[in-house]
Amino acid sequence: MTGVIPGRHTPLPPTWLCRVDAHPWPCGEAKLALLAKYADNRPRLLTLLAGWKAEAEDHLASLDSGRPVDVTDRFLTWARPPTD
């Protein structure tokens, strides 16, 4: 896993649950920390999240007999910049 994840709310592969609160990662606290850390560089945040999404999908699929897993909403939808 590459990139900087701020704070204590970090993922625990292969389940991709938060190490602190056991919610699906990125949990609410992780999302807030990531938005704050990458506030001036949303493209970088989205790039990191896309990489973590791919890694999580691979891990989660291996835990579910190889069935495809889609975690797009969990990893990317919340981080898109607001549109006017």
On whether residue 1 sits in a domain, the answer given is no
Number of compact structural domains in the chain: 1
What's residue 6's pLDDT? 87
Q: Could you report how far apart the first and last alpha carbons of the chain are, in Å?
A: 33
In a domain, 4, yes or no: no
pLDDT tens digits for 59-74? 999 998 889 999 999 9
In a domain, residue 83? The reply is: no
Q: Is 54 helix (H, G, I), strand (E, B) or coil?
A: helix
pLDDT tens, residue by residue, 38-62 = 999 999 999 999 999 999 999 999 9
Cα of 27 vs its chain's centroid, Å: 8
4-18: pLDDT as tens digits: 788 899 999 999 999
Instruction: Kindly state whether residue 84 falls inside one of the protein's structural domains.
Output: no
- Give yes or no for a contact between 46 and 79, defined as CB atoms under 8 angstroms apart: yes
Contacts of 62 (CB under 8 A, 6+ apart): 14
How many angstroms separate the CA atoms of 82 and 73, rounded? Answer: 15
Structural domain of 32: 11-77
The answer to the question of residue 69 being in a domain is yes
**pLDDT for position 64:** 86
Name the nearest CA neighbour of 28 among 7, 57, 4.
Answer: 7
Residue 32 forms part of a structural domain: yes
Residue 64 lies in a domain: yes
Please check whether residue 70 lies inside any domain of the structure. Answer: yes
